[in-house]
Structure 1
């Protein structure tokens, strides 16, 4: 169950306060200085450096900060095509870490033909991370609000947390939106000396790719959007589609259990067993490993299952957890990574979900409106009840002041080479309807390749999808319209996701788009 643990980011979803009118420039971005490359401490074969960029691209004289970057040079310089940017998911993923791990991620031919490069998005990792009080973050109220008083409590907490994060992070707190990161990426392109970029973005990293292609279309060589965000959705559309994805993923888990006798619930009514566990969680009857005085909530149990659905290889371990809970056994301590180790907590913890609150405006007026969303989700997902990925972002951004610097809109991309959209048919996070919508918005500047299997992130899930992506990246050869790749059994899949573990002091509220 370590793989389930790895898929649970455990971020507290905080709120952000933005400066009105802060927007990223669409002019040619020029770096403040050249990058001084040096071997990365973690991997000498990779070069690391920093790029100095404005805190606010609309007011460059207001100060600068440094963005962490990395480069792994092409293994065959004579055959080199250019720079391939790896766009990290999250929010909170690291492009530098993707470059460090790229030999395990990318095919030898891609490594031969491209310099593999990446940057840590502003507000994360090596790029001046947003930080907040660990102690305050652990005081987050229950996201499943049950009254207007709970709603008011959440608003008050969000105000406190937003003020704390801003005070500890500094002025960059108001400028960590993905539109500003797109301007950083163009400055990185200029510093690399590249006329055009090739890009692979996974999950939340697809938003950066969309924004860059929209604002710098002449600098796009070939862009892959793998498991794509849909930046056109409002509150109801966002919550409903995420909830549909949660139920669809559960349905696929049940279907596997019915056909595979390795499932410990094979031949049983898995849906009834699951409903029974949720009822017991509601009554406070399920134990949390390592926390004898606390009990597993239904929200935590649903979040754990949602994390497992990121990869079908987790179906069997999830089946074991369900069997343990049903029989009254306590699952292994690493099966449900929900406890908080306060003894190791530092004064501050990173909080990259601030980025989401500057990229998506998902307002809810009051508890009455919130409860309507919950009732609708219960109808969409009768087994899962709701999606933590629907509730977490909305609740975390309650009270977000208007305007935000990167609000939702329909894409207006006009590139010479269409962007390639990859998506699993049964993705629990960046759901398939988002891929259909994004491709439709791209029009002639987009092409969708559907992977007919399960899980989050397509590249690496079998030869069909991986070779199609490689052909596009290397020679800009697009798959045929309507192309589909068959599902690959979980044992044969090689995934690209770097494991994600909860930060100290953060409650396991939600998963990330990673």
Structure 2
């Protein structure tokens, strides 16, 4: 997302398989990490690993990959390292470790918890772009005719050139295929013969591709809230529109049966439609900020952000306050209110992983109309449409284009997904598991929200057992939904509740977790 209403991914492989590691690359990967207490929290250790900018040229320019770890609390029971990735693209594994990682005591007892910032992210040579240009982006939801479409393409090209000039050569090598090579170098540097990994959301793509490229080096991979890297433009947009509408339907059903819902007893769908109409007329403002308009897409974004938790209670209170004009806290705070001159924008990672072309303004308009038909209340997946708009004009070929997964020879991988995930649609997990085949086991959480670890005892215990001993849930296993509590909030799993919402780097949380 490149303006207050444009949402990029968080969210949501290779026609040219990367070359096998050369001896020089292997030596670089095996280089030891010098650990020291982290500046932000001295109870954790931080370090860097030197890796090539371009893995096809391992003797060329390098950069420092930022890493953090918390050692196992019971060294006598230690199994090894558990490497984690909190998604995005753009989620910081270092920050996740500093924040504690949100894992059970048994996991932190048995594993060193290790997080890294993928190339182009946070402390690992972040992609840098002009905040001013970011804010000048055309509204991708108001493209009307060939002139608007051409203006969006022109802006995207200016923005890419600006980001490339500020970032340097790494800008063209931030694809997840390169991240997978970094991850294998990290595994070697940690001294682990095989990788134990937990990735959520966009972090599942890292795990999927690692299993595909290094099957003999896998110990256990948990992939929570799965990407489907086989999708083209239409399938990507349609599945995302379907899943966000499904989350809206679940919110309405929750409100209808929950007396503590601030809209209980009301026609929630009608109230929502009225708020959208007021937003389109320019009559809504952010609570407590009368000069800050809340657009229609901005309002939809608030709901989408709430579905991540899920934070049904807070969303209902926010909508009721908007309807009545009373003060209330927004679910998300737009990045554009902040004053930085330079933006760390990781969305080029997605653009190097997903080639999602749109031929012209007519096809663009058809996508929007079809999304509105699939999602009559939410109208569009702001996440998916924002990412497609952001990547328009991306030069082809991209480094890590979509393809069906080809995983052979790994231990069984554990895939998990919420049935009502707003961002990584449940059909994505089903499709990814089918592509992987007998090496995959899918665990279904029959509830809501993005990420199943921490959603009650059932999925958490299943993932813990798998990571610790390799024990798998039964074929077709399903965990019952944990109904959002009356005090349901946006819960932190691997990202702090005040940090970027995974998949929505243009917004920040505005609720206590």
Structure 1-normalised TM-score? 0.91
1:154 equivalenced with 2:148 (yes/no)? no
1:169 equivalenced with 2:167 (yes/no)? yes
Q: Distance in 2 between matches of 1:277 and 1:356?
A: 32
Q: Can you list the C-alpha shifts for 1:264-307, whole angstroms capped at 9, x where unaligned?
A: 22111111111111111111111234653452211110011000
Call closer, same or farther: CA 1:58–1:442 in 2, change over 3 Å.
Answer: same
Q: Distance in 1 between matches of 2:247 and 2:15?
A: 40
Query: Is the Cα contact below 8 Å between 2:282 and 2:295 reproduced in 1?
Result: yes
- 2:127 corresponds in structure 1 to 130
How much does 1:349 deviate? 1.2
Query: Is the Cα contact below 8 Å between 1:31 and 1:52 reproduced in 2?
Result: no
336, 341, 349: which is aligned to 1:340? 336
Call closer, same or farther: CA 1:120–1:31 in 2, change over 3 Å.
Answer: farther
1:120 equivalenced with 2:117 (yes/no)? yes
Call closer, same or farther: CA 1:507–1:463 in 2, change over 3 Å.
Answer: closer
Q: Distance in 2 between matches of 1:68 and 1:507?
A: 20
Query: Is the Cα contact below 8 Å between 1:287 and 1:330 reproduced in 2?
Result: no
Call closer, same or farther: CA 1:399–1:509 in 2, change over 3 Å.
Answer: farther
Q: Distance in 1 between matches of 2:291 and 2:74?
A: 58
Q: Distance in 1 between matches of 2:231 and 2:256?
A: 35
Q: Distance in 2 between matches of 1:328 and 1:193?
A: 58
Call closer, same or farther: CA 1:295–1:495 in 2, change over 3 Å.
Answer: closer
Query: Is the Cα contact below 8 Å between 2:499 and 2:508 reproduced in 1?
Result: no
Q: Distance in 2 between matches of 1:319 and 1:295?
A: 20
Q: Distance in 2 between matches of 1:229 and 1:147?
A: 32
Query: Is the Cα contact below 8 Å between 1:31 and 1:188 reproduced in 2?
Result: no
384, 394, 406: which is aligned to 1:400? 394
How much does 1:167 deviate? 0.3
1:285 equivalenced with 2:283 (yes/no)? yes
Call closer, same or farther: CA 1:31–1:74 in 2, change over 3 Å.
Answer: farther
408, 418, 426: which is aligned to 1:424? 418
Q: Distance in 1 between matches of 2:409 and 2:370?
A: 39
Gaps of 5+ in 1: 1-7, 15-19
Q: Distance in 1 between matches of 2:107 and 2:85?
A: 16
Q: Can you list the C-alpha shifts for 1:77-97, whole angstroms capped at 9, x where unaligned?
A: 222211111122011111112
Q: Can you list the C-alpha shifts for 1:106-149, whole angstroms capped at 9, x where unaligned?
A: 11111111111121100001100000011111111101112221
- 1:4 corresponds in structure 2 to none
51, 54, 57: which is aligned to 2:52? 54
Query: Is the Cα contact below 8 Å between 2:49 and 2:67 reproduced in 1?
Result: yes
- 2:369 corresponds in structure 1 to 375
Matches within 5 A, 1:7-26: 13=8, 24-26=18-20
* Mean CA deviation greater in 293-302 or 406-415: 293-302
Q: Distance in 1 between matches of 2:289 and 2:326?
A: 14
* Mean CA deviation greater in 43-52 or 417-426: 43-52
Secondary structure in 2 aligned to 1:61? coil
- 1:88 corresponds in structure 2 to 86
1:65 equivalenced with 2:63 (yes/no)? yes
How much does 1:68 deviate? 0.3
Q: Can you list the C-alpha shifts for 1:214-267, whole angstroms capped at 9, x where unaligned?
A: 000000001000001110100000000000011000000000011011112211
Q: Distance in 1 between matches of 2:476 and 2:27?
A: 40
How much does 1:11 deviate? 7.7
Q: Can you list the C-alpha shifts for 1:411-453, whole angstroms capped at 9, x where unaligned?
A: 0111341110010000000110101101111100100000001
261, 264, 272: which is aligned to 1:263? 261
Secondary structure in 1 aligned to 2:352? helix
How much does 1:158 deviate? 0.4
- 1:100 corresponds in structure 2 to 98
Task: Compute the RMSD of aligned alpha carbons.
Answer: 2.4
Q: Distance in 1 between matches of 2:213 and 2:408?
A: 9
Secondary structure in 1 aligned to 2:290? strand
Gaps of 5+ in 2: none
Q: Distance in 2 between matches of 1:349 and 1:273?
A: 36
- 2:464 corresponds in structure 1 to 470
Call closer, same or farther: CA 1:135–1:394 in 2, change over 3 Å.
Answer: same
1:444 equivalenced with 2:435 (yes/no)? no
Secondary structure in 2 aligned to 1:240? helix
Q: Can you list the C-alpha shifts for 1:136-191, whole angstroms capped at 9, x where unaligned?
A: 11111101112221111110110110000000000000000111010001111111
Query: Is the Cα contact below 8 Å between 2:211 and 2:410 reproduced in 1?
Result: no
How much does 1:403 deviate? 0.5
Query: Is the Cα contact below 8 Å between 2:500 and 2:508 reproduced in 1?
Result: no
* Mean CA deviation greater in 470-479 or 287-296: 287-296
